[in-house]
Amino acid sequence: MKSKSIVKFAIVILIIATLGYIAAYGLTIGDYHIASVTDEENGIKKGMDLAGGATILFEADTDNVADGDMAAVVEVLRTRLDSAGQFEATVAQQGKKRVRVEIPAVMDTQEAIDLLGTTAKLEFRDKDGNVVLKGEQVKKAQSVYDTLDSSGKKGYQVRLELTSEGRKAFAEATERVAGYSSDNTNYIAIYLDDTVVSSPRVQEKIDSETCVINGDFTAEDSKTLASQIQSGKLPFSIKVVESRTIGASLGEDALARSVKAGAIGFVLVVLYMIIMYRLCGFISGISLAGYITLVLMILSWLKINLTLPGIAGIILTIGTAVDANVIIFERVKEELRLGKTLRASVDAGFKRAFTAILDANVTTLIAAVVLYFFGTGSIKGFAVTLFIGTPVSMFTAIVVTRFLLQQLIGFNIKNSKLYSA
């Protein structure tokens, strides 16, 4: 029994140590390579405030800029950046007809422009080139898998949601265009910056705030078309008037100091836990090291841009993990004082603490989801790290800590004082 516990304990420590090594130095086995979290190419991406990036100034290619038009441009560019995973990028209006975009960790301005995609103006035109629907009249475009016709056949299609103004304009246009079926010109072409991306045919008048574009679409085809329509809803064309790269506002030195401060904080927390909870605190330190390693590796795999708000999200979940351990150990202590055996006390302590820990983590996840869907830029970056860190901290605090404690009990270390009782 004792030897089995020692072996299991050692295996977990070895796994955590191996993951830590891979996170720090990477791993290459033949053609298979796992990048370290610090790898500039494939590791964690640093945000604008830590590593600099590209800044691009766009300008409306027209003098007729109505109220709210630039806000629409900001929203479209923000959507494009979020779709590309650039949650830490910032988009802000400057003056009456300009918008500045800052994209972290992208040091090539052309790459940044390509990342944003074409700065196209979206228009729907009939056979004669008349604009029948403008981009700003389309509220939403999404790829869906639904029934295609009355036969019940299903397939991929693009569903559009129109504004009330767009519905009226589209109804008039589709009623007219449907009458061209005799000469096969009953289509409405979708243009992005004067380039046709699709030409769906119109069979009848469409008088609704929702309509669908059918065709022999694959999942990728419908997704691409929906993305083109969704990201091209600019009220007018915009052009690049300035593009350049900028240095980090905090710099590598500040990042190094932050890492050093984090390491000192980690050591102090572990020391406090050991002083207060003895062997239990020691185990929590091992679990906490595993948590930090897992979070950093996940952030690296997902290529999340990490800035100060993102670091704040990680630190917050470290506190959540420690807090969960404190709740568990206090319950274990109470059980020991009631005279229960060590193994029974550990099992009962985890069982009693689970509900409180689950509630706290679920509410944190809800907050992260709300921040992600309703926030923008750095707020989304914070939400992403918070959402990733919360379940990982719960896993290490409950599963890893419990497993290691059970193996420790198997060592026949039965002095309750060593377990903080």
Interstrand relation of 210-217 and 154-162 (parallel, antiparallel or unpaired): antiparallel
Token pair 């506190």 is at which residue? 319
Asked if 420 and 333 count as a contact pair (C-beta separation under 8 A), the reply is yes
pLDDT tens for each residue of 84-102: 667 768 888 888 888 988 8
**What pLDDT score was predicted for residue 193?**
64
Beta strands in 289-374 (DSSP E): 305-306
Share of the chain above pLDDT 70, in %: 91
Interstrand relation of 210-217 and 98-104 (parallel, antiparallel or unpaired): unpaired
pLDDT at 27 over 70: yes
pLDDT tens for each residue of 343-371: 888 889 899 999 989 998 999 999 999 99
pLDDT tens for each residue of 153-204: 788 888 888 888 889 998 998 889 888 877 888 888 888 667 787 888 888 8
Beta strands in 163-291 (DSSP E): 189-192, 195-198, 210-217, 238-246
The residue-averaged pLDDT of 109-121 equals: 67
Q: List Cα–Cα distances, 370 to 298, 315, 382, 386, in angstroms.
A: 21, 19, 12, 11
Interstrand relation of 189-192 and 27-29 (parallel, antiparallel or unpaired): unpaired
Token pair 């992260």 is at which residue? 368
Query: 305 or 29: which carries more pLDDT confidence?
Result: 29
pLDDT at 109 over 90: no
Q: What is the rounded CA–CA span in Å between residue 222 and residue 228?
A: 10
pLDDT at 392 over 90: yes
Q: Does residue 304 sit in helix, strand or coil?
A: coil
Query: Which residue segments constitute the domains of the chain, with CATH numbers given?
Result: 2-45+250-419 (1.20.1640.10), 53-119+237-246 (3.30.70.3400), 122-231 (3.30.1360.200)
- Contacts of 222 by beta carbon, 8 Å cutoff, 6+ apart: 143, 144, 156, 157, 158
The residue-averaged pLDDT of 219-230 equals: 74
- Contacts of 52 by beta carbon, 8 Å cutoff, 6+ apart: 104, 105, 107, 245, 246, 247, 248, 249
**What pLDDT score was predicted for residue 235?**
66
**What pLDDT score was predicted for residue 339?**
83
Q: What is the rounded CA–CA span in Å between residue 379 and residue 48?
A: 14
Angle of CA points 169, 187, 72, to nearest 5°: 45
**What pLDDT score was predicted for residue 399?**
92
Q: Which two tokens stand for residue 233?
A: 């809803």
DSSP assignment of 98-147, as one string? EEEEEEET---HHHHHHHH---PBEEEE-TT--EEEEGGGEEEEEEEEEE
Residue 195 β-bridge partners: 192
Token pair 């290459």 is at which residue? 28
Q: How many CA atoms lie within 13 A of 201 on its CB side?
A: 11
The residue-averaged pLDDT of 249-262 equals: 70
For CA atoms 82, 88, 92, 97, give the dihedral sign: negative
Confidence of residue 124 (pLDDT cuts 50, 70, 90): confident
pLDDT tens for each residue of 230-255: 666 666 778 888 888 877 665 667 66
Q: Does residue 195 sit in helix, strand or coil?
A: strand
Q: Which two tokens stand for residue 67?
A: 């109220």
- Contacts of 296 by beta carbon, 8 Å cutoff, 6+ apart: 23, 37, 44
Query: 71 or 298: which carries more pLDDT confidence?
Result: 298
- Contacts of 217 by beta carbon, 8 Å cutoff, 6+ apart: 155, 156, 157, 158, 225
